Amino acid sequence: MDIIAQHGHLLLILTCCFGLFMAWGVGANDVANAMGTSVGSKAITVKQAILIAMIFEFAGAYLAGGEVTSTIRKGIIDPAILTDSPQLLVYGMMSALLAAGTWLFIASMKGWPVSTTHSIVGALVGFAAVGIGVDAVAWPKVGKIVASWVVSPVMAGTISYWLFMSVQRLILDTKDPFANAKKYVPIYMFAVGFMIAMVTLLKGLKHVGIELDFGFESKFANAIPAAVVLGVIVALIGKYFLKNIKDTPIDFSANRFANVEKIFAVLMVFTACAMAFAHGSNDVANAVGPIAAVVGVISSGGDVVAKSAMPPWILLLGGGGIVLGLATYGFKVMATIGRKITELTPSRGFAAELGAATTVVLASATGLPISTTHTLVGAVLGVGLARGIGALNLRVVSTIFMSWLITLPAGAGLAILFFFFFKGVFS
């Protein structure tokens, strides 16, 4: 308690700095994943991707980032164990943020798309197991998160595979692909609008004074009517933009679907916005959750609580850091996702992004722990497999899988080092 009273302000400033660093890493790595398919398929430019991310990532982080956060990310640690030593929780959260941020920095430099969720979870497990005790870690929760290594990419890959197969059957493999694209793309646009709304409503907008109640028992069922309305609005807006795309003569030797891909490029703008919003709402907690934990401990004079209110300024810090990370260093991971796994066109990129967004919604509804990174990589693999295994760059895929395996132990190892350093400096 004396340490909290004596060094509270310094600990809080350091935590905010490390949290900003972690949010920067989320932007440089994870947001680049979300934008990579759109940039790689040439539907939007890098500058346009950054602009979309600035608006929708920030909106997702701030509006749907959650009213209340578990101070211990995903219930990994039992807060009751730390009641008598709140300073250990503060050191642990600081070390977890710095460790996860450092690993994300290294991965982003290498162009590896890794999971920010697994980075922070690995860091929390590392400091808790070694710094507090093995019993402090909720191992069944960790087991669920490790299981998501398989669940996330397989689910997203399957959905994206069938989405792209539907595009091929309804549009690409027909006598008049352009006419069929104008006919069916508004339906896909409805699905995109529906998914954006579902992610927003399921993540919760209580802290901005919005809570829908249509008389259904579950939150998921209450979100559906509003999501349907938004889906129809997005489809109508999309249909308006599609009117301006003409079936111009093209060089068939280059790409006989060039005019069709123009239509999907319009759709990709919508899916890019959806993925940015979904990601902002889902993964900002990786950076701001530990900050909220420290703020809760210091502001209460040393009380450790399982839940704490999320002050708006913390969400602003997280959202700002995410945007800064993408703008300054997101290009390397964008290149990996967009170009190196498989060749993407707007129609393929659309299937991957909508498949990934759908997986995020299904996970929110069922409580499955997922990684947005694994989800999107799985979705891109699913689209590549729709064209045969030869369409995938297996060397790049194996490197990505290896970086996923390293993430948890890397986060844990760095967190242990930083934890004992902070403990030595302040105790």
Instruction: Report CA-CA distances (Å) from 112 to 29, 335, 356, 377, 401.
Output: 8, 10, 18, 11, 9
DSSP per-residue codes, 234-303: HHHHHHHHHTT-------TTT-TTHHHHHHHHHHHHHHHHHHHHHHHHHHHHHHHHHHHHHHHHHHTTS-
Tell me the pLDDT tens digit for each residue of 123-174.
999 988 988 888 888 888 888 777 877 888 999 999 999 999 999 999 988 8
**Separation of alpha carbons 2 and 86, rounded Å:** 10
pLDDT score of 95: 95
Structure-model confidence comparison of residues 259 and 333, the more confident one: 333
Confidence check: pLDDT of 178 > 80: yes
**Separation of alpha carbons 255 and 264, rounded Å:** 14
Contact of 318 with 287, CB cutoff 8 Å: yes
- What SS3 class is residue 133? coil
Q: Tell me the Cα Rg of the chain.
A: 22
Contact of 362 with 59, CB cutoff 8 Å: no
Chain mean pLDDT for the chain:
83
The 10 Å Cβ neighbour count of residue 214 is: 10
CA dihedral 65, 66, 68, 71 (to 10 degrees): -40
Q: How confident is the model at residue 389 (pLDDT cuts 50, 70, 90)?
A: confident
Say what the pTM is: 0.85
Tell me the pLDDT tens digit for each residue of 45-88.
888 888 888 888 888 777 766 544 444 455 778 777 777 788 88
Highest mean pLDDT among 96-105, 106-115, 201-210, 265-274: 96-105
Query: In one letter, which amino acid is 204?
Result: G
Segment 326-348 mean pLDDT: 88
Structure-model confidence comparison of residues 119 and 196, the more confident one: 119
Residues 6 or more apart whose CB falls under 8 angstroms from that of 191 comprise 231, 354, 358
pLDDT score of 138: 83
